Each structure stands twice: as structure tokens, then as C-alpha cells.
Structure 1
Amino acid sequence: MKPPILTIIMFTIMSGTIMVLMSSHWLTIWIGFEMNMLAIIPILMKKFNPRAVEAATKYFLTQATASMLLMLGIITNLLLTGQWAALSTLDPITSNMMTVALAMKLGLSPFHFWVPEVTQGIPLSSGMILLTWQKIAPLSILYQISPSMNPHLLMIMASMSILVGGWGGLNQTQLRKILAYSSIAHMGWMIAVTMFNPTLMLLNLTIYIMMTLGTFMLFMLNSSTTTLSLSLTWNKLPLTTSLILIIMLSLGGLPPLSGFIPKWMIIHELTKNNMISMAMLMAITALLNLFFYMRLTYATALTMFPSTNNMKIKWQFENTKNMTLLPPLIVTSTMLLPLTPMMSTFF
């Protein structure tokens, strides 16, 4: 893709999300979603092949259906309340329609089927945008309409997403599918706390985006797409083996690392609101996610897989991929735990 075209497309993707974030009118919010959806299709097909076309088609059909449901909810709300304002109180029917539409856009269970398939068919750089930037706009709308949402519907979708994100990633060897199921599980954690403390959902989103960006950049640095190719990184870039170990454990939410902060605070918030069974389910299901992160860690850093002799000297050659943001992302993805008291005052 030529640089001017790529610049225009990326500008449109960013403009669509920013329009959703800054709008207080339902029509401009919908237009922002449409701009974002149509602009990301060429990014998904950056490396043109039948698999990428299939992934882009699945993404388009799902997102178009979600946009149609969102517009139906907006028009129903206009007929019932006579208001276009996003912050106005929604009718229960409208609220359920919009929640389902936004769940489809986010890839929450039971509307999660497109997420692993689309992520698997596109390049790592496109997958990074899909699983990070594309989550911001729908979650911002959920944040705004959270007082009007059905708590039972949200909790059902959250618990199903956490279970699917845990079970779905267990038998995967493709890194992009593992990160897709990880995204579904993290979205479930965010949705579970939205009813009680929407601002805490923003903290979880911020830390999730930092960890996912760091993970994708490490995979792009090694050009790794499967567990087998990841297991050979000790030959090519020895330092990245320890970095992948640390960031995977942080994604799993182990205590000394940044990934523990949102899980700790969300479980604390749920127990304060007498959601003990939900908190227990989420804590136990987090072990499933931790299992497949540990499996990647084991394959990367805790074993030395056999390799061909011509790979032994690859570490001596300079890597031409420029990952300027990788060092700060690794630091923020692993070392934020001492700042938890300060974060708790804001969130």
C-alpha cells in the first residue's frame, strides 16, 4: 500500500473513533462508527490473499449488522423519547438493542465467532489495530449508556465471554487466535465491572491496550505467527525470550506485574457490590487464560527447541524492524503495580 493512501486510511480510522468519543448526538456517533468500519477494511487486506479477503468480508458483514442494529436502536429511541442526545435516559428496549449492537462490535460472547477467524486471516500489524484501537469507540459508548443498561444481560455476556476466552484458547497453536481469545476474555472482565464502576473499565482498557500492543510488537519483531516459530526466538533474538515470558505472565494477571492491577480492582469492586459468585467465577476462569499464556512462555523461554545450524548466527545480524515504542510498552506492561494506590484514587 502506498504511503499517501495508508496515511489517508489511518487518518480516517482515527477520525471515526475520535468522532464517536467527542459526539453527544446519536447520528454523529453512528457516522463515526461507519467511517471507522469502512476505513479499516483496506488495512485488513493489506497483504492481499484469499484468506485476508475472507477475513475482511466476515468483519464487514458482522460490523454492518451491528451498525444496522445500532441505527434501529437509535431510531426506536427517537420515536419513544423524541431525543437524539447520547446521555439521555434510554428506553429498556432501545438499551438492549444498543447493548447487543455494541457487543457485536466488541466481539463479546455469544457474538464472538468473528474475532478469532478475522484475526487469524490478517497480518499481525492489522490484528494489532483490530484488537486495540477498534475496542475504544464501542467501550466509550457503553461507558456513556451504562446507567440505562440491563445488568442481567451484561453479566450473562460478561461471564460467557470470560468462559469462552478461557476455553477457546486452550487448544490453539496460532498466536493470533490466542490473542483473539485473550481479547474476548479481557472484554468480559471490562463489561462485568461496567455496571458498578465504569471508570474502572477505562483503567482495564488502558492496561489491556498497552499489554496487547507490546505482545503484538514482540511477535512482529520475530515475525512469529505460531507457537513453533515462537519457540525458535532463542536463536534469533535471545533477549526477546525473557521479554515474552514477562509480558505473557502480565497478560495472565500474575501479581507482581501490571496485568494484576485491573483483575485485583475489578474483583474488589464486585465483592463490594455483593457479586461474590461472579467474582469467584472470574478468578477461577482466569486460570484458563493463565494456562495458555504459560504454555507460550514454556515454548519460548523455558525450553531450547532444536533448530537448524544456519539459524545459530542470526542473533549477530541487525534487526531492520523499527519498534521505537516497544521499550516503554514493556515497562508499562510490567511495572505499574506500585502505582495502584494512586490509580485507585482516580478510578
Structure 2
Amino acid sequence: MLNNPTKFLFFMTLISGTMISVSANSWFGAWMGLEINLLSFIPLMTNTKNLLSTEASLKYFLTQALASATLLFTVIIAALMFNTSGSLLMESTFMSILISSSLLLKMGAAPFHFWFPGVMEGLNWMNGLMLMTWQKIAPLMLLSYNLSMSVFTSIIIALSVLVGSLGGFNQTSLRKVLAYSSINHLGWLIAAMGVGENLWYLYFSVYSFLSMAIIFMMNTFKLFHVKQIFSLNYINPVTKFALFITLLSLGGLPPFLGFLPKWIIIQSMTQSGMIFLVSIMVIMTLITLFYYLRTSFGAFMLTYAEPTWNYLYAPNNTTNLVALILSACSTFGLIFCATLFSVI
């Protein structure tokens, strides 16, 4: 992408759009940044050799345009009502829900997730990584200005973890599995946002790092479907192990780095008295872990083979080294952080 001047230009405007939204001091400025971001991402998505990418870009444009229009009209109506009636409590609550809904639609949280798996399926891995991480920064930051723990927020959190867990059950496409995993993580992100301002920064950073590590390996080995993982006999067993360890870390298995932000959120929510909600979140995350473990166990134990003549097609040693470094950070990150905190 960086070799293509046009795509590089759109990539830079994509970044600047997010920065405008995050640093805006008015809702109009934030909306403008979101629009720049949207119109920069669509040319990056399209690929003339892949019809699915055209369909994905059209789906993405329609849903994002609907969300942007809802956000803009809600903000204008709220400003007019504030000037005329002094912003009654019921009206401000309704407007707050409308603004939150438009931002939730932008990032793909349940029950506004209908577009997200379909768009992910039509993208290549690098665009999918941008959609799962960078494209969520501006809506999440704007949502954090407007969010408070209420019945509406609790319903969104519960639906996101529920849809994210159950939606990935019968999927054979790895991109859709990661899309539903992203919806599940959005539930945790919104919960972190409701409990404490800084918690969601930590969660999003860890989630972005783990997503980058997994997508780097899947892009390198050209993996798109679950059945391809079972036939990865040409991959070095250590690299294969690294891939699944990072996948389990993304699911939040306790000895790994992905459990650290979940651990902090569970503790904070328990101290705040949200026992029922956090119980739903933990149970649903265990379901996500179940199908990660099912895939990992099958690839390790049931269909494992090591024919030496296929190693000629293996990626170079640099790729294996980067995969191992990313996996090591994922594996020993929690132990390092716990040791560091205890020393401090």
C-alpha cells in the first residue's frame, strides 16, 4: 500500500481524519473528522481484482453515512432545543442515546453490528486490521465523552458480548471469527469506559497489539478459513504454536497478556457493584474461548503431521522470528506486568 502514492495519500488523510475527530472541541468538528476518515478509507478498501471488496466498501459507506447523518442531525436538534427550552432532562437523555447509537453503529457494536462481519469478509487482512483497530478510535473517543453507566449502556454491553460469543460459533471464515471477536471485545471496551476513563485505553492497546500479531501471521501464511489451519504442515511447529498462543491470548485465557485488561475490568466492575453484568461478560467470553480452544486443539492434536519435504515453501526466517517475538510478548506480558507492579 505504501508503494502506491494514491493509497499513501488516502492513508495519511485517514489518520488525519481520526486526529481531527479526537481533538475536536465541538460535535461539528468531530463529525467533519469522521467524514474525512470515512471518505479516505473507502478507496483503500476497493480492489478491482476482488468483487467482494467492492460490495464491502458499498456496505461500509451506506452504514457509515447513515450513522454520520444521525449524529449530525441529533447534534443540530439538541443544539436548537437547548437554545429554546433549556434542555429538559428527558430530551437530553433521549439525545444522548441517539448520539451514542450513531457512534455504536459506526464502530459495529451490537445490536448495530449487522454490517461488520460482511464487510470484514470482503477485505484483505491489512484493511481488516485497520477496520478492527484504527477505525474504532474516533467513535470510541467520542462515545467516552457522552457515556455513563445506565440501563441502555448495560444492554449494549450484554448484547455485544452475547452476539460476539455466539456469532462466531459456526463460522468457517477466520475473518468472520475475528469480526465477531471484535464485537465481543467492544462490549468489554464499553464496560471499561463506563467504569473508568483510563481503563479502555489499556484494553484497546492490548487488543490492538494482539490483533496486529494474529493478522501479521495470518497474512504471512495466507490463511482465510479454519480448514487451512488444519493443513498447515509446511509451517515450523514453533511458529504454529506461536499463532495459537496469540489466538488464545486474544480470547483472554488467564496466563497470557489478553487476560490483563479483562482482569482489571472484572475487579473494577465488581467493586462498583455490577456483579450481574460482569458475570454475563465472563460467561460469554468463556464461550469465545471454547471455539478458540476447539480450533487450537484440533490443529495441534488431531491433524498434526510434519512432512519434511514441504518446508521448502515455508516463509523466511525473519517472518518466523517476528512471529515468535510477538507471541513471546503475548505469552509473558501478563507475568512481566504482574512482576513489575509488585516491584513498584
- Is TM-score (shorter-chain normalized) higher than 0.5? yes
The amino acid across from 1:143 in the alignment is S
Report what 2:225 is aligned to.
226
Tell me if the contact between 1:155 and 1:191 (Cα under 8 Å) persists in the aligned partners. Answer: no
- Superposition map of 1:115-154 within 5 A: 115-146=116-147, 149=148, 151-154=150-153
Tell me if the contact between 1:234 and 1:301 (Cα under 8 Å) persists in the aligned partners. Answer: no
Alpha-carbon separation, structure 2, partners of 1:109 and 1:128: 19
TM-score normalised according to structure 1 size? 0.88
Alpha-carbon separation, structure 2, partners of 1:7 and 1:325: 25
Is 1:24 aligned with 2:25? yes
Which segment drifts farther, 90-99 or 298-307?
298-307
Is 1:61 aligned with 2:62? yes
Report what 2:330 is aligned to.
333
Report what 1:86 is aligned to.
none
Which segment drifts farther, 73-82 or 216-225?
73-82
Report what 1:265 is aligned to.
264
Tell me if the contact between 1:116 and 1:181 (Cα under 8 Å) persists in the aligned partners. Answer: yes
The structural deviation recorded for 1:234 is: 3.4
Tell me if the contact between 1:80 and 1:91 (Cα under 8 Å) persists in the aligned partners. Answer: no
Evaluate the alpha carbon distance shift between residue 322 and residue 40 of structure 1 in structure 2; reply closer, same or farther with a 3 A threshold: farther
The structural deviation recorded for 1:279 is: 1.1
Evaluate the alpha carbon distance shift between residue 142 and residue 170 of structure 1 in structure 2; reply closer, same or farther with a 3 A threshold: same
Tell me if the contact between 1:190 and 1:204 (Cα under 8 Å) persists in the aligned partners. Answer: yes
What are the superposed Cα offsets for residues 135-180 of structure 1, whole Å, 9 maximum, x if unpaired? 111111112222xx46111110110010000000011111000000
Report what 1:85 is aligned to.
none
Evaluate the alpha carbon distance shift between residue 100 and residue 121 of structure 1 in structure 2; reply closer, same or farther with a 3 A threshold: same
Report what 1:46 is aligned to.
47
Tell me if the contact between 2:108 and 2:115 (Cα under 8 Å) persists in the aligned partners. Answer: yes
Give the secondary structure class of the aligned counterpart of 2:254: coil
Alpha-carbon separation, structure 1, partners of 2:166 and 2:183: 11
The structural deviation recorded for 1:50 is: 2.0
- Superposition map of 1:1-347 within 5 A: 3-46=4-47, 48-82=49-83, 91-146=92-147, 149=148, 151-305=150-304, 311=310, 313-315=312-314, 318=316, 329-337=326-334, 338-340=336-338
Evaluate the alpha carbon distance shift between residue 150 and residue 227 of structure 1 in structure 2; reply closer, same or farther with a 3 A threshold: same
Give the secondary structure class of the aligned counterpart of 1:313: helix
Alpha-carbon separation, structure 2, partners of 1:93 and 1:5: 42
Gaps of 5+ in 2: 84-90
Which segment drifts farther, 303-312 or 163-172?
303-312
Alpha-carbon separation, structure 2, partners of 1:323 and 1:220: 13
What are the superposed Cα offsets for residues 162-215 of structure 1, whole Å, 9 maximum, x if unpaired? 000000001111100000000000001111232221321111111111111111
Evaluate the alpha carbon distance shift between residue 341 and residue 138 of structure 1 in structure 2; reply closer, same or farther with a 3 A threshold: farther
Alpha-carbon separation, structure 1, partners of 2:62 and 2:174: 24
The amino acid across from 1:53 in the alignment is T
The structural deviation recorded for 1:294 is: 1.1
Evaluate the alpha carbon distance shift between residue 112 and residue 217 of structure 1 in structure 2; reply closer, same or farther with a 3 A threshold: same
What are the superposed Cα offsets for residues 62-104 of structure 1, whole Å, 9 maximum, x if unpaired? 111000111012112211335xxxxxxx921221111000110
Quote the RMSD (CA, aligned, Å): 2.6
Alpha-carbon separation, structure 2, partners of 1:324 and 1:244: 12
What are the superposed Cα offsets for residues 30-74 of structure 1, whole Å, 9 maximum, x if unpaired? 111001111111221135422111111111111110001110121
Alpha-carbon separation, structure 1, partners of 2:311 and 2:59: 41
Gaps of 5+ in 1: 83-89
Give the secondary structure class of the aligned counterpart of 1:173: coil
TM-score normalised according to structure 2 size? 0.89
The structural deviation recorded for 1:16 is: 0.6
Alpha-carbon separation, structure 2, partners of 1:123 and 1:324: 23
Give the secondary structure class of the aligned counterpart of 2:291: helix
Evaluate the alpha carbon distance shift between residue 308 and residue 60 of structure 1 in structure 2; reply closer, same or farther with a 3 A threshold: farther
Alpha-carbon separation, structure 2, partners of 1:340 and 1:23: 36
The amino acid across from 1:198 in the alignment is E
Give the secondary structure class of the aligned counterpart of 1:188: helix
The amino acid across from 2:228 in the alignment is S
What are the superposed Cα offsets for residues 224-259 of structure 1, whole Å, 9 maximum, x if unpaired? 001111222232343321111210110111111111
Evaluate the alpha carbon distance shift between residue 307 and residue 48 of structure 1 in structure 2; reply closer, same or farther with a 3 A threshold: farther
Give the secondary structure class of the aligned counterpart of 2:170: coil
The amino acid across from 1:98 in the alignment is I
